[in-house]
Structure 1
Amino acid sequence: MTGSQYQEVDIKNAILRESTFTRSNFTGAVMSDVDARDAKFVSAIMLGVKLDGANLANADFTKADLSKADLSGADLRGARLYQTILRGADLSGARLNGADLYQTDFSNSLWVDGTTRCAEGSIGRCK
């Protein structure tokens, strides 16, 4: 599935465990409640994607662009978010325990508490 185009696809509740979507484009896709544990979205373009309620435990989003993504209630425990762009994303209720947040851009994101808006320049943590 590397380099595939999935713009605006509706795949709610899909099972994508251990799949690889490196450099794929999911812009505007609806992926609510998917099970994508251990999936690889390395360098994927996922602008405005809906991943609310998704199981993304141990998924790899290294260098992916999830600007304005809806990750509300998503399970991101142990996920690799190394150099991931989450600018303007909704992380309310998301679980990030054990996630690799090194150089992750949280600028203007709604934080897991559902009330805090991360400041511009929030890299690696919400300020």
Structure 2
Amino acid sequence: NFGKIRPKPHILKQSEVNRDFLLGHKMKIVKRTLVMTALAVPIAIGSPANGFDKMDLQKLKLTKACERCNLSGANLREAELSEAILAYANLIDAELGGANLSFAKLSHIDLRGADLWGANLMGADFRNRNLSKANFSFASLRGSDLAFANMRQTNLGVANLRGANLYYADLRRANLHKANLSGANLYGANLSSANLKDATLEGALFCKTKMPWGEDHSDCAE
């Protein structure tokens, strides 16, 4: 056994060490690039839904008509859009502070999270619309139709809802602090967890109305 010649172990040269290190480093970069590319693909595909279409925005400004348009997140502050046609439009998170949308055609519009601070929405049609978490503070919704609207957690502080139709509207956890609801139709509306501090309710219709203090049937027909 002692007479056998053992093979000498291969000692890596510095050049071979550098080559192997660089090869391994390049492989890591390639893998990382492939992973980042794979992650970026769904984001790129989904991006149009998360931002407004510039062509749609231009069309609205020129014609005041933009059905089924994507205007999510668009800046429409103080825009003159009275009687505009916006049926089926996507206005999620749109900036509409001070805009004039009086008597606009808003059927099937999506205004979730939109900012309508001080906007003029007099006579607007919001029936069955999703307005949850939108900001309508200081807005004029006088005579607007909000029947069956989803207004959960909606900010309606100091809003003018005089004569508005809130038939079976869902206003749970909505902020109606100092809102004017005089003459409003609250038949079947759910305000059970709404903030009604200093709100004006004079002349409002109460029947099957869920209020913070219980169900109110004071105006139900005999």
| Residues 67-124 of structure 1, C-alpha deviations (whole Å, 9 max, x = no match) | 100000000000011111111000000000111111111011011427xxx4359x96
Distance 2:90 2:143 in 1: 23
Return the TM-score normalized by structure 2: 0.52
Q: In structure 2, what is the Cα distance between the partners aligned to 1:124 and 1:72?
A: 23
| Alignment equivalent of 2:94, drawn from 29, 34, 44 | 29
Partner of 2:74: 9
Distance 1:54 1:96 in 2: 12
Question: How many residues matched?
Answer: 123
Task: Check the 8 A contact 1:53/1:74 in 2, yes or no.
Answer: yes
Per the alignment, do residues 14 and 111 of structure 1 end up closer, same or farther by CA in structure 2, a change over 3 Å counting?
A: same
1:11 alignment partner, SS class: coil
| Equivalent residue for 2:175, pick from 110, 113, 125 | 110
Distance 1:125 1:38, change over 3 A: farther
Query: 1:126 offset after TM fit, Å?
Result: 5.3
1:14–1:101 distance in 2 versus 1, CA, 3 Å? same
Q: Show the counterpart of 2:192.
A: 119
Larger RCO (alpha carbons 8 Å, 6+ apart): 1
| Distance in structure 1 (CA, Å) of the matches to 2:85 and 2:210 | 27
Equivalent residues of 1:106, 1:124 under 8 A apart: no
Structure 1: distance between partners of 2:209 and 2:110: 20
CA distance in 1 between counterparts of 2:210 and 2:80 reads 30
Match of 1:53 in 2: 118
Deviations 1:32-56 (A, max 9, x none): 0001110121121111000010011
**Aligned residues: percent identity?**
28
Runs of 5+ consecutive residues of structure 1 not aligned to the other structure: none
Bigger proportion of residues as helix: 2
- Does residue 66 of structure 1 match 2:131? yes
Q: CA RMSD in A?
A: 1.9
Letter in 2 for 1:75: S
After superposition, the Cα gap between the structure-2 partners of 1:3 and 1:104, relative to the gap in structure 1 and judged at 3 Å, is same
For 1:39, the equivalent position in structure 2 comes to 104
Assess if the C-alpha contact under 8 Å between 1:3 and 1:22 holds in 2: yes
TM-score normalised by structure 1 residue count: 0.89
Where does structure 1 differ by over 2 angstroms across 4 or more consecutive aligned residues? 118-121, 123-127
Unaligned runs of 5+ in 2: 1-65, 180-190, 195-207, 213-222
